[in-house]
Amino acid sequence: MTQINHNYTELQGSYLFAEIAKRRTKFIQDNPDAQIISLGIGDVTRGLPDAITKAMHAAVDELAEASSFRGYGPEQGYDFLINAIIENDYKARGIDIAANEVFVSDGSKCDVGNIQEIFSQDSVVAVQDPVYPVYVDTNVMAGRSGKFNKEKGQYENIVYLPTSAENDFTPSLPDRKVDLIYLCYPNNPTGMTLSKEQLKVWVDYAKANDCIILYDSAYEAFIQEEGVPRSIYEIEGAKEVAIEFRSFSKTAGFTGVRCAYTVVPRELKGKDENGNIVLINDMWNRRHTTKFNGVSYVTQRGAAAIYSEEGKEQIKSLIDYYMTNASIIREGLASIGLEVFGGVNAPYIWLKTPNGLDSWAFFDKLLSEAHIVGTPGVGFGQSGQGYFRLTAFGSRENTEKAVERIKKLSL
Amino acid sequence: MTQINHNYTELQGSYLFAEIAKRRTKFIQDNPDAQIISLGIGDVTRGLPDAITKAMHAAVDELAEASSFRGYGPEQGYDFLINAIIENDYKARGIDIAANEVFVSDGSKCDVGNIQEIFSQDSVVAVQDPVYPVYVDTNVMAGRSGKFNKEKGQYENIVYLPTSAENDFTPSLPDRKVDLIYLCYPNNPTGMTLSKEQLKVWVDYAKANDCIILYDSAYEAFIQEEGVPRSIYEIEGAKEVAIEFRSFSKTAGFTGVRCAYTVVPRELKGKDENGNIVLINDMWNRRHTTKFNGVSYVTQRGAAAIYSEEGKEQIKSLIDYYMTNASIIREGLASIGLEVFGGVNAPYIWLKTPNGLDSWAFFDKLLSEAHIVGTPGVGFGQSGQGYFRLTAFGSRENTEKAVERIKKLSL
């Protein structure tokens, strides 16, 4: 019988959101009349802005005619989208990014999951704790995690950088040599951010210690406060040490449309086993063109419309809508004495569970007593134990209803 | 400096189609007035059928409204598409496939590239030669290829199964123990097929020798002759040994729309390093849900429309169009004494280059003298040396023009 990739046997249980879906489905089966409100998985709910649907309709019409048909596009994405990204997300903020540094993809989950593949098998990986589970899981699959230590609830070879209320959600620098550092800001799940000065510490550390930062900035569009960096490349020297991941999923309601991009600067270098210098950009380009065939043309046209004047306005009002939800949740929960974090520069509210309940116990309580689905903090890492994530992506009505229900709970 | 995945340094040159694009671009720069006809990369050119664009427009409209908005779908694909696939591509042919055996993706290139990841690092890989380069390149990246032997033009640890006119394009069984066998039928690039009896030999071999067949059937829709298997699951016992890859790219003009699917039967088993039995379906499901986030909803609605009555008729006429091109090329080339293969059950015509020209020399001759871009056979493997691939995916006008130009060449 064919041998499998034995690293998969080190994966722990099922993927977080699959477990949530399972418990939710069971609850609905047992309580068919319950009006469930989901503030769990970070999925958007509003319709696509008009500027985007217009562009998608036009693209479908183009594909209908042989004269304007487009088949395979460049695997890295069409120029019309790459140029719009560079112009608006970088040049407008004084950051110089070249067209061959941008790789359009069908989602940041894919990119942050696949990026590890171009690095050595022996790379030591550091992750924030709690954090989006894909970073760890994909390194487990690749064999970089070592064994899972059941007592600790952590992998032996992964370097965890704990954040919690105790350290104001600011991770300490690694206490041993690492090669790859996953940073996620605005953070999923905590909704917290770093200041420019705080982020500079990481860039400087990476430069001094020869490591690469994998900077997941999927929630950049939700930053409201001045002084919070929107790109790691706002920090001097970051192009020599960082890859940046951005997504249209939450920015523009693209969770079901699928588009994201990754910036791999030409300044970013690695070395092969003979000590030769290799451009990480060349590595990713090779990976991307060999295992991926580009994003749907219709989707790319929709994504480019985000950057039109009309699109920008509509996106802004979409984000305002969700961020108003965020403050409704934040303030509602705070008003009954719950300790809340995030929700200011991110669509996630991270709350300390009351009375020392563990995260899954709070999940079950919220589901059974308030019919609300949220996400247990511990699902994002051991330091998330005793925390819980709510998202601002519901409708206004559901968000308000959910907050009212939570206020009525006996906590 | 961070160490890269050193396996990448074993990759040979750039990806075939990138090299073609480079030569083509250079020729156009030097000859700006040349009317280039591309019968090279296997990209379709006709507009999307009406049934599909209608469904895509309707899906865009659904996404425009919060009430009908769809965000994240199941990573494996929506039921409406999976059920249509099962009903039409399998049940209608007497094959029993369950919903959890079908994984919808954004392209077969991704799936055939990623599938190796769930198998052991030590797996021995066999590929047809010539064949679609992605099978080999992705195994090189994963470290299964061994060193590249420049003299042979082959990797030391890959088992090549040569096909050429000499063996009627029927590969021999491997001469040593292998774990994974990539088979591509209808074949890209040769356009040749196996009969049921011939395919049964492979299924029986895989059962007897504990290996898994990775059956790439992206061109299934082009099969015209009776008796040519459309799915490997037509062969008894194949569900215990084979994964099947199908694509809408060529079937329905989806090269720019991006949709495919992969069937991983629940009967298919592997073992972990402790000898425990593992379902390959579970492995792929874990991979797919961890590193992929589903195909665009708009795309999936478009793909489902392929299976409507209207869609089926329109697809049939699309395929008839391309297959008429195929016979124009086949017959045109044969009429001037060229030896041609394929083009009967596949949109590819595989020709023996005249006068012993090597593949790239014929590429340059065709480009410079007839302004036609084709694909050098050697780009698909050493046994493709002295062969050349033309595709039937051009417009009728260009196809006819190209054949006329070739007829006028001094060969």
Contact status of A237 with chain B (Cβ, < 8 Å): no
User: Residue B265, preceding bond cis, omega within 30 degrees?
Assistant: no
Which positions in chain A touch B258 (Cβ < 8 Å)? Answer: 106, 293-296
CB contact under 8 A, A290 and B119: no
Parallel, antiparallel, or unpaired for β B102-105 and B260-263? antiparallel
Contact status of B61 with chain A (Cβ, < 8 Å): yes
CATH 3.90.1150.10 maps onto chain A at: 6-47+310-408
C-alpha distance from B220 to closest chain A C-alpha (Å): 19
CB contact under 8 A, A48 and B61: no
CB contact under 8 A, A258 and B106: yes
| Mean pLDDT to the nearest integer, B32-49 | 93
CB contact under 8 A, B106 and A63: no
Specify the pLDDT at position A19: 85
Q: Show the low-confidence residues of chain A (pLDDT under 70).
A: 14-15
Using the structure block, give the residue that is written with the tokens 């369950």. Answer: B98
Mutation for A interface: B124, B125, B250, B258, most A CBs within 10 A: B258
| Mean pLDDT to the nearest integer, B202-221 | 98
Specify the pLDDT at position A16: 78
Looking from the CA of B40 toward its CB, the CA atoms found within 13 Å total 27
Residues B242, B229 contacting (CB under 8 angstroms): no
Residues whose CB falls within 8 Å of the CB of residue B334, separated by 6 or more in sequence, listed in order: B340
Provide the pLDDT confidence category of residue B326 given band limits of 50, 70 and 90.
very high
Provide the pLDDT confidence category of residue B272 given band limits of 50, 70 and 90.
very high
Using the structure block, give the residue that is written with the tokens 């070879």. Answer: A157
Instruction: List, for residues B85-135, the tens digit of each pLDDT value.
Output: 999 999 999 999 999 999 999 999 999 999 999 999 999 999 999 999 999
Could you give the ipTM of this predicted complex? Answer: 0.96
β strands within B260-403, DSSP E:
260-263, 269-271, 277-279, 340-342, 348-352, 372-373, 375-376, 387-391
Residues B161, B171 contacting (CB under 8 angstroms): yes
Residues paired with A243 in a beta bridge: A214
User: Considering only alpha carbons, which residue of chain A is nearest residue B124?
Assistant: A2
B377: left (phi over 0), alpha (psi -120 to 50) or beta: alpha
Q: Return the number of CB contacts < 8 Å for A and B.
A: 277
Q: Which of A18, A56, A106 sits opposite B106 (nearest CB)?
A: A106
Q: CATH 1.20.1270.10: does it fit domain A6-47+310-408?
A: no
Residues A410, A370 contacting (CB under 8 angstroms): no
CB contact under 8 A, A109 and B287: no
* Token pair of B144 as six digits: 């299964």
* Token pair of A342 as six digits: 């995030």
For the cut 80, the answer to whether the pLDDT of residue B14 exceeds it is no
Continuous segment of H or E residues that includes residue A81: helix A79-85
Continuous segment of H or E residues that includes residue B243: strand B242-247
CB contact under 8 A, A50 and B64: yes
- Cα separation, B392 vs B396, in Å, equals 9
- Cα separation, A250 vs A42, in Å, equals 8
**HEC letters along B127-194:** EEECCCCHHHHHHHHCCCCCCEECCCCEECCCEEEECCHHHCCCCCCCCCCCCEEEEECCCCCCCCCC
- Cα separation, B20 vs B70, in Å, equals 40
Provide the pLDDT confidence category of residue B41 given band limits of 50, 70 and 90.
confident
Looking from the CA of B289 toward its CB, the CA atoms found within 13 Å total 17
Cα B159 to Cα B110, B122, B127, B382, distances in angstroms: 22, 13, 6, 13
C-alpha distance from B252 to closest chain A C-alpha (Å): 11
Instruction: List, for residues A130-175, the tens digit of each pLDDT value.
Output: 999 999 999 999 999 999 999 999 999 999 999 999 999 999 999 9
Look over chain B and give the mean of its residue pLDDT values, rounded to a whole number: 96
For the cut 90, the answer to whether the pLDDT of residue B40 exceeds it is no
Q: CATH 2.40.50.140: does it fit domain B53-309?
A: no
Residues A304, A84 contacting (CB under 8 angstroms): yes
* Token pair of A68 as six digits: 């304007």
Using the structure block, give the residue that is written with the tokens 């009505």. Answer: A397
Which positions in chain A touch B12 (Cβ < 8 Å)? Answer: none
Q: Which of A15, A66, A119 sits opposite B45 (nearest CB)?
A: A66
Find residues 106-145 of chain A whose CB sits inside 8 Å of chain B.
106-107, 109-110, 113-114, 117-123, 134, 137-138, 141, 143
Provide φ and ψ at B210, rounded to 5°: 55, 55
* Token pair of A6 as six digits: 């034995």
CATH 3.40.640.10 maps onto chain A at: 53-308
Provide the pLDDT confidence category of residue B169 given band limits of 50, 70 and 90.
very high
Determine the topology of domain A53-308 in CATH.
Answer: Aspartate Aminotransferase; domain 2 (3.40.640)
- Would you tell me how many other CB atoms lie within 10 Å of the CB of residue A27? 17
CATH 3.40.640.10 maps onto chain B at: 53-309
